[in-house]
Amino acid sequence: AADKPIRIERGGAEPWTNIETRAGAELRLAHTTVEGGGDPNGGRLTQYGMIDVRGDQDLPPQPIFFADHVTLAGSGSLGVWLREGGSFATGSTDLTITGGAGFPVLAWTNAAGSLPTGKYTGNATDEIFLPAMDTRDAIGADMTLFNRGVPYRVGGDTGGTSLRVGVTKTSVHVLTIEPGVTMRFAKRTRLLLDADANEPTGALVAEGTAAAVERVPESLT
CA–CA distance, 174 with 204 (Å, rounded to integer): 6
Rg (CA), the chain: 17
Q: Cα dist. 68→54, 65, 93, 117, 141 in Å?
A: 19, 10, 5, 10, 25
CA–CA distance, 79 with 58 (Å, rounded to integer): 24
CA–CA distance, 56 with 217 (Å, rounded to integer): 41
Phi and psi torsions of 58, nearest 5° = -90, 0
Q: What is the pLDDT of residues 126-139, one digit of tens each?
A: 999 999 999 889 99
Phi and psi torsions of 25, nearest 5° = -85, 165
Strand residues in 40-172 grouped as ranges (E): 49-54, 62-73, 78-83, 86-88, 93-98, 105-107, 118-119, 128-130, 143-145, 152-154, 162-165
Q: What is the pLDDT of residues 188-213, one digit of tens each?
A: 999 999 988 788 899 999 999 988 66
Q: Cα dist. 72→37, 98, 169 in Å?
A: 9, 6, 40
Q: Are 18 and 52 contacting, i.e. CB atoms less than 8 angstroms apart?
A: yes
Q: What is the pLDDT of residues 158-190, one digit of tens each?
A: 778 999 999 877 889 999 999 999 999 999 999
Residues 6+ apart with CB under 8 A from 165: 138, 139, 173, 174, 175, 191, 192, 193, 194, 202, 203, 204
Per-residue model confidence (pLDDT) at position 221: 45
Q: Is the pLDDT of residue 40 over 70?
A: yes
Query: What mean pLDDT is reported for the chain?
Result: 93
Q: Is the pLDDT of residue 69 over 80?
A: yes
Identity at 44, one-letter amino acid code:
R
CA–CA distance, 22 with 119 (Å, rounded to integer): 26
Mean pLDDT of 149-156: 95
CA–CA distance, 66 with 76 (Å, rounded to integer): 22
